[in-house]
Amino acid sequence: QKEVEQDPGPLSVPEGAIVSLNCTYSNSAFQYFMWYRQYSRKGPELLMYTYSSGNKEDGRFTAQVDKSSKYISLFIRDSQPSDSATYLCAMNPPGAGSYQLTFGKGTKLSVIP
Partner 1 sequence: NAGVMQNPRHLVRRRGQEARLRCSPMKGHSHVYWYRQLPEEGLKFMVYLQKENIIDESGMPKERFSAEFPKEGPSILRIQQVVRGDSAAYFCASSPQRTETMNTEAFFGQGTRLTVV
Interface residues with partner 1 (CB under 8 A) are 4, 6, 8, 32, 34, 36, 41-46, 49, 88, 90, 92, 94-95, 97-106
Compute the distance between CA of residue 62 and CA of residue 29 in angstroms, rounded to an integer.
Answer: 23
Dihedral sign computed on CA atoms, order 24, 26, 52, 48: negative
Distances (CA, A) of 27 to 2, 3, 81, 112: 10, 6, 34, 36
- Residue 79 or 107: the one with the smaller Cβ distance to partner 1 is 107
Nearest distance from C-beta of residue 107 to partner 1, angstroms: 11
- Residue 3 or 78: the one with the smaller Cβ distance to partner 1 is 3
- Residue 79 or 104: the one with the smaller Cβ distance to partner 1 is 104
- Residue 17 or 22: the one with the smaller Cβ distance to partner 1 is 22
Nearest distance from C-beta of residue 75 to partner 1, angstroms: 19
Look at residues 53, 31, 52, 49 and name the one whose alpha carbon lies nearest to residue 88: 49
